[in-house]
Structure 1
Amino acid sequence: MQLSVEAVAATALLEVVRISALPAKRDAPYPGRTVTHWVGDEAADALTLIENLLGSGKHRCGFSPGWSVRAYEETLESVLFEAAFCFSCHEVRLHGTAVPPDLAVQFFDADGADAQALLSLFREAAR
């Protein structure tokens, strides 16, 4: 999966959200419960998994994401990007100040090892 190199380098904190609904408007944060915050090695490891997600073809499910990560820079003032993951249709939607339009919608192999490791991290964070 492609992320902005600058955004990854600037990320100081990842907020993990268990999504409860789709946002009311485009580019709004996905509503849900924040389950954890990752910093340091935890954030770096999660970003590496995300960047290593293998591409996939489009699957149809209607896009019903279960998890998102919000990346913040050191000041925590604004979200660099939010990535919402649907493990059913293998789609991830990104928005934020560090997301160029051509990276806003991507598809990943939800059954791949890195995707399954990321999903395990999400589930563990929610316990």
Structure 2
Amino acid sequence: MRIGELSDRAGVSVRALRYYEEQGLLTAERSASGQRHYGEPAVDRVQLIQHLYAAGLTSRTVADLLPCVDAKVNTPESRALLASERDRINTQIAQLTAARDRLDAVIAFSEGPSSGCTYQMA
């Protein structure tokens, strides 16, 4: 399939696909005229890349993990990398939860009877 079809089927922009190629995350065959052609597995690969990006992984981290994914190998290094990313995400979740709780307190205070006081963030 050509790049436009892959873009449509995977739900990403053509520009994103070109970026993935630049980063070594995605490969394409080239026709004699230089057009990119992708195999059917490219759709799944692009969706995996998107999931990893959505989880907050960098393109460098994704590039480090994809060879293990391609080889269907689970190494101690790849497990450690994934555990580290999971810990980073858990830290972000805790920080976001705390921020949400503070916002809820501000909202609750502002919906109460007006006493002329302002809320002090702890």
TM over 0.5: no
Q: What range describes the TM-score normalised by the shorter chain of this pair?
A: under 0.3
Higher RCO by CA contacts (8 Å cutoff, separation 6 or greater)? 1
Q: Which has the higher strand share?
A: 1
Higher-helix-fraction structure: 2
The structure number with the bigger radius of gyration is 2
TM-score computed with the length of structure 2 as normaliser = 0.22
Compute the TM-score of the two structures, normalised by the length of structure 1: 0.22
